[in-house]
């Protein structure tokens, strides 16, 4: 099989996880390495992942945070 590379599902899943960490979650390469090494420890296997927020939920959260920050700024300036 010259030139034909085969990948296991585990390898493909790891590549997808790296892509997510680097491009979606904006980790640095070093940060992604640390995250991957932490995920491979036995104690991390028992911890459930937090559910991902949808885009709309993220916008709502950011609007709420922005309002709270404006309120804090007004309190500081008064």
Query: What is the tens place of the pLDDT at every residue in 14-48?
Result: 999 999 999 988 889 998 898 888 887 665 545 55
Domain co-membership, 9 together with 37: yes
Please check the confidence at residue 52 and state whether its pLDDT lies above 70. no
Domain co-membership, 62 together with 24: no
Number of residues in the chain? 78
Quick one: pLDDT at residue 29?
A: 92
Please check the confidence at residue 53 and state whether its pLDDT lies above 70. no
> What is the average pLDDT score of the chain?
81
Residue of higher predicted confidence among 14 and 57: 14
Number of folded domains that form the chain: 2
Surface-to-core class of residue 13, CB atoms within 10 Å of its CB (0-12 exposed, 13-18 middle, 19+ buried): exposed
A 10 A CB-CB count for 35 gives 16
Q: Can you give the residue range of the structural domain that contains 61?
A: 50-78
pTM: 0.48
Domain co-membership, 41 together with 57: no
What is the DSSP secondary structure assignment for residue 41, as one 8-state letter? S
Domain co-membership, 38 together with 71: no
CA angle in degrees (0–180, nearest 5) for 54-38-18: 55
Domain co-membership, 64 together with 40: no
Domain co-membership, 41 together with 28: yes
């Amino acid at each position: 099989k010259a030139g034909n590379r085969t990948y296991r599902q585990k390898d493909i899943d790891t590549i997808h996880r790296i892509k997510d960490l680097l491009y979606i979650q904006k980790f640095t390469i070093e940060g992604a390495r640390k995250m991957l090494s932490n995920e491979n420890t036995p104690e991390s296997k028992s911890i459930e992942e937090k559910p991902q927020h949808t885009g709309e939920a993220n916008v709502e959260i950011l609007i709420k945070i922005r309002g709270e920050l404006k309120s804090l700024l007004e309190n500081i300036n008064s």
